[in-house]
Each structure stands twice: as structure tokens, then as C-alpha cells.
Amino acid sequence: MKYLADIGSYFIMLRQVFSRPTKTSVLRELILKEIDELVIDSLGIVIFISFFVGGVVAIQTALNIDNPLIPDYLVGFATRQSIVLEFAPTFMSIIMAGKMGSFITSSIGSMRVTEQIDALEVMGINPLNYLVFPKIIALLLYPFVIAISMFLGILGGWVAGVYGGFSTSDAFIQGLQEDFIPFHIIYAFIKTFVFAFILATVPSWQGFYMKGGALEVGKASTNSFVWTSVLIILSNYIITTLLLS
């Protein structure tokens, strides 16, 4: 019963996010601030993780194929498929649920605890539109983050594969081009948009409706990570079934 109430409150929140809009000039500034805090500030960790995970994927693939019948370009092929289809869109989003999601929940939760949200309401401002809508718009740029992750993941694989002596540059690049299906990129970006919406709204929902003090802000951040990750995994399964099966 509690889960039903939670799901209900999430959808009620979504309805309010898109109603009673904030003044346009203020909204523009809020969106730019959210782009800076959510997108630009995430690039460092995305670049670091993508590059090294791409490298590890290439090394692991190379180490696990001893059969001479398997072509050399498989290292590049496996790296591309792993990074483009799953690592960059899905697993990077789960990492972002920890980084971005915790930040969103704790900042909105702290505003709840210190009555800043009540202050907005008393002033006649729709706090959900003011706080959550700019995050949703800012995260429309999230696919660019994932595109960077894809590029750097593959680059990391190439560097590790070639300079680690696991593959030649020509074989790796041939693998990247082998059986390339452009729809896979579209599929990856479709799910990235869905994950971006989840990343903006679920942590906001957890922060906005939390009750209690500082301890509860911490608990809400943990719950936010769990709910966001679960929803990303579930929606990943559904989108994959619908688009690729």
C-alpha cells in the first residue's frame, strides 16, 4: 500500500512540476545554473570512468579470447558494442544516480528541512516548478554527456588495446566498423533521454517529500539512489525489449 501511495505522489509531483510556471527570466537563470551544476560538473568523473572502463573492457576481451579462429578485430567490436549499448547509457546513468541524484535529493531535502520550500510556497511560488522543471530542461543535455562517455570509452579501449599489445590499431578500428548498426546509436540515445528524466525527477521527488531533519536527508539520498537505479534498470529492460527484440 505504501508503494502505491509513493507512486501516486510521484505522478502528482510530475503534474505540479509542469503547472504554474515560474517567471521566464528567473527560469532562464535557473536552467543555466542547473546545466552548470548537473551537466558540466559531472564531466570530470564521466571522462575518467569512461576512459578507464573502456580500456578494461578491451583488455578483458583480449585476455579471454585465445582461439586463433576468432578474428583480431573482435576486441574493437566487443568494446564498441559494450560501451555504446550498455556501459555509456545505462551504467554511466547508474553512476550518475549516485553523483547527480544524491546532490539533487540532499539539496532539495535541505531546503525542506530549513523551511526554504515553505518560504517559496508562502510567496506564492510553485516550488516544484521552481526547483524541478529547470533540472528536467538542463538534463536534456545529458545525451551529450553520454556521447562523450561513448567516445572516451572507445578511445580508452583503443589506447589500452594498442599500447597494451592486445590488438593492432588497424584491427581495432576494423572491429569498430564491423557490423555497425546505426539504429544502436538511436536506441542508446532514446534510453538516455528516459534515464535523464528519471535522474531529474526521482531524486527531486525523494528530496521534496522527505520529512524530518538532517538524518532523514541522508536516508532520502540513499533511497533516491536505490529508486533511481531500480527504475533505470527496469526501464532499460523494457526499452531493450521494445526496440531490439
Q: Which residues bind other proteins (CB under 8 A)?
A: 20, 22-23, 25-26, 110-111, 114-116, 118-119, 121-125
CB of 123 to other proteins, least distance (A): 6
CB of 213 to other proteins, least distance (A): 12
Q: Scan for cell 534515464, then name that residue.
A: 195
Choose between 57 and 108: whose C-beta lies nearer to other proteins. 108
**Distance from C-alpha of 166 to C-alpha of 154, rounded to nearest angstrom:** 15
Choose between 24 and 241: whose C-beta lies nearer to other proteins. 24
Amino acid found at 218: G
CB of 202 to other proteins, least distance (A): 22
CB of 20 to other proteins, least distance (A): 8
Choose between 36 and 170: whose C-beta lies nearer to other proteins. 36
Query: Is the Cβ–Cβ distance between 40 and 145 less than 8 Å?
Result: no
Q: Which grid cell sits at 214?
A: 538532517
DSSP letters spanning 190-237? HHHHHHHHHHHHHHHHHHHT--SSHHHHHHHHHHHHHHHHHHHHHHHH
Question: Residue 238, Cα to own-chain centre: how many angstroms?
Answer: 17
CB of 96 to other proteins, least distance (A): 21
From residue 49, give the alpha-carbon distance in Å to each of 7, 82, 230. Answer: 33, 14, 21
Choose between 27 and 65: whose C-beta lies nearer to other proteins. 27
Choose between 127 and 143: whose C-beta lies nearer to other proteins. 127
